[in-house]
Amino acid sequence: MKKLLLLALVIPFAATAQTDEKADSAFIKSISDNIFISRSSYYNLYDLTKHVGGRLAGSPQMVKAEQWGYNAMKAAGADNVVLQECMVPHWVRGGKDLASVSYASNGQTVTVPVNVFAIGNSVGTGAKGVEAQVMRVNNFDELEKRKNEVKGKIVFYNVPFEDEFIQTFRAYGKNVVYRGIGASRAAKYGAVAVMVRSMTNAMDNNPHTGALRYLDSLPKIPAVAVGVRDVEKLDTLFDNGVNLKAQLFTWGQFLPDTTGHNVIGELKGSTYPDQIITVGGHLDSWDVNEGAHDDGTGCVQTIEILRAFKALGYQPKHTIRFVLFANEENGGRGGEKYAEEAKAKNEQHIFALESDAGGFTPRGFGFTVKPESCSKLNAWKHLFEPYGGSTFTDGGDGADIDPLRAQFKTPVAGLNPDNQRYFDVHHAVTDVFEAVSIREMKLGAINMAALLYLVDKYGL
């Protein structure tokens, strides 16, 4: 009897789903047509990268970017736009980062320049610089074994960015710890500075910056990222038994925290206005580039979804917030503030989506959701197949929406573009407008809009 009842319940649902499926497919196609035809995402990304440029938290470009975001949200048709204040760190590079290595050869001193960037949040060497013998280590285990050799030296972390990993984020996730806390781990044993192999698969000589985090109980020492081709030069010298000295000049310092803003546009829900769906990217970038892929494309996709929904006359059931988050790169203050205010206001957040993996061809999404939501997601996958985003994986979000997940157990997802080229440009001078395929970026926005539409219509 239970089996017959179940069948009776399933048949009408299947008929309804079939009818809705046609409507859903048609509406998603209308989203695709609208976004592909529009040139607004091209102009938005151009304005952000070329007219604002690198926009590190606390910088004048940060302020300019916030005004850009506010105006772009207004132009896209948001019901309202607000600037949500948050205090952000203010690290400045302070000057041109320089490095060289020297060694004795045939009775003479040979000096070789090394292409470096100071790692974000690091202290500078000042005008005196730092000069010391270089000690190469391949991992933290080797550092521990050789800890008695470290005092007074510059530790060179040469940790390969594994080419064997098909998913390049695996290599980044495994090795970024050396950039993140490598300075403190070496300072524990008396190192005077660290040099870190850049986090990239690229075979060029562009250093890749990023953030570090000093451990409070240990001395703060300068830290630089080294271009890969220069890493190869250093390796060759070490492999041949050459004793190297390095000289570093960096100028980084923290100024007092300053005021930044999350830029938030809204489409008010018609049926459940107090239930909120969030979509966004982070507005800040590193100072050495234009922040095109990281995360200009995520911001532009967010605004483009808003524009397309308004252009198509779509009225969401739930309130959708389009958020350009502040200070993801070297503090995460924007995402924290967004979740903090949501808690203070007792808001209901039912889903959050972020794009922060570049504007490359979309492959799908990573989801961190309850197990019971997986069957619903799997039933939607075929709707994404024409647009390339039908690979759904377990586990995914974004640094800016993770506080929502932690605070409310909100279901979250991250757009997963093709990642083979992402770390060629990530945090390097090459992350510029010209590195973005506008069509690929648009395709990512289409997939994101489709997911938001389905979650808004059917829930998750």
The Cα–Cα gap between 416 and 393 comes to 9
328 is catalytic: yes
Closest CA to 352 of 386, 389, 325: 325
The Cα–Cα gap between 232 and 169 comes to 22
Q: Are the CB atoms for 262 and 337 separated by under 8 Å?
A: yes
Phi, psi of 207 (to 5 degrees): -70, 150
The Cα–Cα gap between 419 and 144 comes to 33
Closest CA to 442 of 379, 359, 385: 359
**In terms of C-beta density within 10 A (0-12 exposed, 13-18 middle, 19 or more buried), how is residue 341 classed?**
middle
Chain mean position to CA 429: 16
Closest CA to 246 of 110, 96, 102, 98: 102
Q: Which residue in the list 266, 328, 336, 354 is annotated as catalytic?
A: 328
Phi, psi of 167 (to 5 degrees): -90, 110
Q: Are the CB atoms for 25 and 32 separated by under 8 Å?
A: no
Active site residues: 328
